[in-house]
């Protein structure tokens, strides 16, 4: 089997593995299925990634890196007003979820595997960010973070129900853009910005 065009073999495997893990979870994902999705042999998959655990860890590392980048972006441009920085963070987080709609369910389903790495990597970025943010706002920074996360994540947890119910009559993309803008408005109003 040949890997799909315009991608390296490793990228093809990683894309196939991500889809398989998000759809089925770690325990139900099969390396044979991943190889088939990637258009490579099972032996080729094992050449690049020795074990299913290594492949899972690579996918998880990529997703955590994206989350870390969003968190640190709140402080990437300290000269920007807080309103603009928060708007960017909320928007970037929401856009990450739009690009990875199965990510919230996946992370929740794999929490026993994911929690130690999230604690080690993400909390290392979150805690300093919260301490710094607390100096700029009049509410608890941890609560603000939880508000942002819950408002952004919830539509992706119930997304299939929204589509089936017909709530997204103008299309899911339109609905998600409306939700993102509303989330930004709610958070900024809560802070009086």
Note the pLDDT tens digit of each residue in 79-114.
Answer: 889 999 999 999 999 999 999 888 888 888 888 888
Output the six-digit token pair for 168. Answer: 């997204």
Output the six-digit token pair for 160. Answer: 């299939």
Percentage above 90 pLDDT, the chain: 49
Given phi > 0 = left and psi -120 to 50 = alpha, else beta, which region is 177?
A: alpha
pLDDT digits (tens, 9 = 90+) for 136-178: 899 999 899 899 999 999 999 887 777 667 666 677 888 899 9
Residues 124 and 103: their CA atoms lie apart, in Å, by 21
DSSP state string for 18-36: HHHHHHHHHHH--HHHHHH
Residue 159 near residue 101 (C-beta atoms within 8 A) = yes
Instruction: Give pairs for 80-88: CB < 8 Å, separation 24+.
Output: 82/136, 82/137, 82/191, 82/193, 83/188, 83/193, 86/184, 86/187, 86/188, 86/191, 86/193, 87/184, 87/188
Residue 86 near residue 191 (C-beta atoms within 8 A) = yes
pLDDT digits (tens, 9 = 90+) for 27-60: 999 999 999 999 999 999 999 999 999 999 999 8
* Domain architecture of the chain: domains with CATH: 9-50 (1.10.10.60), 59-190 (1.10.357)
């Amino acid at each position: 089997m040949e890997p799909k065009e315009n991608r390296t073999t490793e990228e093809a495997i990683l894309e196939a593995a991500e889809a398989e893990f998000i759809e089925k979870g770690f325990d139900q994902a099969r390396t044979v299925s991943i190889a088939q999705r990637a258009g490579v042999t099972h032996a080729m998959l094992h050449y690049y990634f020795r074990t299913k655990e290594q492949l899972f860890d690579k996918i998880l590392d990529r997703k955590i890196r994206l989350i870390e980048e969003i968190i640190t972006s709140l402080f990437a441009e300290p000269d920007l007003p807080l309103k603009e920085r928060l708007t960017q963070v909320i928007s970037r987080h929401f856009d990450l979820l739009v690009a990875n709609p199965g990510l919230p369910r996946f992370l929740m389903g794999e929490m026993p595997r994911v929690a130690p790495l999230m604690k080690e990597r993400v909390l290392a970025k979150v805690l300093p960010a919260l301490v710094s943010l607390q100096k700029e706002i009049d509410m608890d920074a941890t609560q603000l973070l939880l508000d942002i996360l819950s408002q952004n994540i919830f539509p992706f947890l119930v997304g299939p129900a929204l589509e089936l119910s017909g709530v997204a009559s103008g299309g899911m993309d339109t609905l998600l853009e409306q939700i993102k803008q509303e989330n930004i408005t709610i958070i900024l109003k809560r802070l009086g910005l």
